[in-house]
């Protein structure tokens, strides 16, 4: 994790260790609680991806199945399509590379939500404006970690300058069921689960669609 919130020229992002995530959703709950989000608005979601088959022989059935979890929020993309489609320029980017919603400009048209391949922006029914993860800007400004990072009991989540995260953990971000990372160039690094499938070769399905 980064100790230098004001590090010059640093664009921030998330690291996720898929291999140690057990799908407990502590990150999701911590985010929802910290931001006091209403029912139906969830900035961080834990996706369960599952698939596989049973191999059969004359007398036996052998399972060849898999399940893994992906914790995902806004990825503060290098090429944020939410900003491209926003008609009022409410979708904005800070100097640290994080994307946020300027509430004074947002009209709640939802174009950003429909364009984002991760579905990160969500309409807050209380304000009629869009809302999304801003990588806990207020926490970071006082030297704290984002709520989701602090809450993870298996330390599957981390954050920091994206180039440092990539240098340490690689540049993988295209794990199914996430989309092609070349679309938006997300500030996300994933350490894949042992059964992880790439975005364009996924044979599984999302097991908890109503939750996400």
Of 96, 83, 41, 32, give the one whose Cα is nearest residue 212: 41
Neighbours of 53 (CB within 10 A): 10
Opening angle at CA 207, ends 203 and 212, nearest 5:
115
Distances (CA, A) of 118 to 4, 61, 183: 28, 37, 11
The whole model's pTM is what? 0.92
Q: Are 119 and 82 in contact (CB under 8 A)?
A: no
Q: What is the pLDDT of residue 8?
A: 52
pLDDT tens sequence across 119-174? 999 999 999 999 999 999 999 999 999 999 999 999 999 999 999 999 999 999 99
Q: From CA 52, how far away is CA 64, in angstroms rounded?
A: 6
If you average pLDDT over every residue of the chain, what do you get?
Answer: 94
The answer on pLDDT for 62 being more than 70 is: yes
Q: The domain at 12-206 falls in which architecture? A: 2-Layer Sandwich (3.30)
Which residues, 6 or more positions from 97, have their beta carbon under 8 angstroms from its beta carbon? 10, 11, 12, 13, 76, 78, 162, 187
């Amino acid at each position: 994790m980064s100790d230098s919130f004001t590090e010059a020229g640093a664009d921030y992002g998330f690291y996720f260790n898929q291999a140690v995530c057990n799908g407990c959703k502590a990150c999701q709950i911590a985010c929802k609680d910290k931001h006091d989000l209403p029912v139906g608005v969830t900035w961080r979601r834990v996706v369960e991806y599952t698939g596989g088959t049973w191999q059969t022989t004359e007398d036996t059935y052998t399972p060849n199945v898999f399940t893994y979890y992906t914790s995902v929020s806004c990825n503060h993309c290098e090429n944020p399509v939410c900003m491209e489609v926003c008609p009022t320029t409410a979708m904005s980017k800070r100097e640290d590379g994080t994307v946020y919603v300027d509430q004074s400009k947002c009209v709640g048209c939802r174009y950003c939500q429909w364009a984002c391949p991760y579905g990160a922006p969500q309409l807050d029914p209380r304000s009629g404006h869009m809302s999304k993860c801003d990588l806990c800007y207020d926490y970071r400004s006082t030297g704290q970690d984002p709520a989701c990072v602090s809450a993870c009991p298996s330390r599957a989540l981390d954050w920091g300058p994206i180039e440092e995260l990539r240098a340490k953990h690689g540049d993988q971000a295209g794990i199914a069921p996430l989309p092609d990372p070349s679309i938006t160039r997300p500030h996300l690094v994933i350490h894949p689960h042992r059964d992880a499938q790439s975005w364009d070769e996924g044979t599984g399905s999302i097991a908890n669609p109503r939750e996400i």
